[in-house]
Structure 1
Amino acid sequence: MFFFFVGGISPQVRQVLKPDAARCIRCGSLADLVEEEKVLKLFFVPVWRWLGKEPVIYCNNCSTFFPPSTSLPPPPSHMPSPPDGLRCHSCARVVDPQFSFCPYCGYSL
């Protein structure tokens, strides 16, 4: 007799602690500081939940969880426009106004 087991453990967001707290290390978009919970699922049905050890950063764009120590700093909320060109909203470097993407970080201008 064979038994077939379908299940696994997956992380989920329990509560958003601080929105737009950092930038994602994978896609560069804004990410939230969240309280994470682990969920054990059997046949795609949640069976058991427990809290993570500490808050993590969660990216809504690419659904990535990562520790706050590895996150990129959030973009500045107010950046003055440089006199000699356009400034990237992600890495704050001066770029040519003709560019559609930042040549340093790849962020869409």
Structure 2
Amino acid sequence: MFFFFAGGLEQQVRQVLKSGAGRCISCGSRADLVGYEKVLKLFFVPVWRSPGKEPAMYCDNCKLFFPQSYSFPPPPQIDPSLPDVLRCRFCNGVVEPDFSFCPFCGSAL
């Protein structure tokens, strides 16, 4: 006798609380602050939903949920009075010439 089980637990966005609240820790794109719920699916049919305990960040680009405390800080404001300096191509933050990675978003320079 064999038993085949097709199911799992996944997270789904319930509502967007604040759009563009931070940056994704994986791809560096905009991430939204969302309320989410955990959904138990059996044979690809949702059978049970449970609300998340606290809001989380969600990246729509790479579909990643992560805690709000892990979010990158917002990029610094651009000061037009600064001379031509090395800037990150992803977040436009000013970086030192000897850096290999951006200290603001973590992307390779």
Structure 1 length as normaliser, TM-score?
A: 0.79
Counterpart of 2:46 in structure 1 is: 46
Scaled by the length of structure 2, the TM-score of the pair is 0.79
Residue 48 of structure 1 and its aligned partner are, at CA, apart by 1.0
RMSD of aligned residue pairs (Cα, Å) = 2.3
Contact 1:30–1:74 at 8 Å: present in 2 too? no
Unaligned runs of 5+ in 1: 97-101
Distance 2:61 2:73 in 1: 17
Q: How many residues align?
A: 102
Q: Which runs of 5+ in 2 are unaligned?
A: none
CA distance in 2: counterparts of 1:80 and 1:103, whole angstroms: 23
Give the Cα separation in 2 of the matches to 1:3 and 1:43: 13
Q: Identity of counterpart residues, as a percentage?
A: 61
Aligned equivalent of 2:101 = 104
1:11 positional shift: 0.4
Deviation for aligned residue 1:95: 7.6
* Corresponding residue for residue 20 of structure 2: 20
Distance in 2, matches of 1:12 and 1:46, equals 11
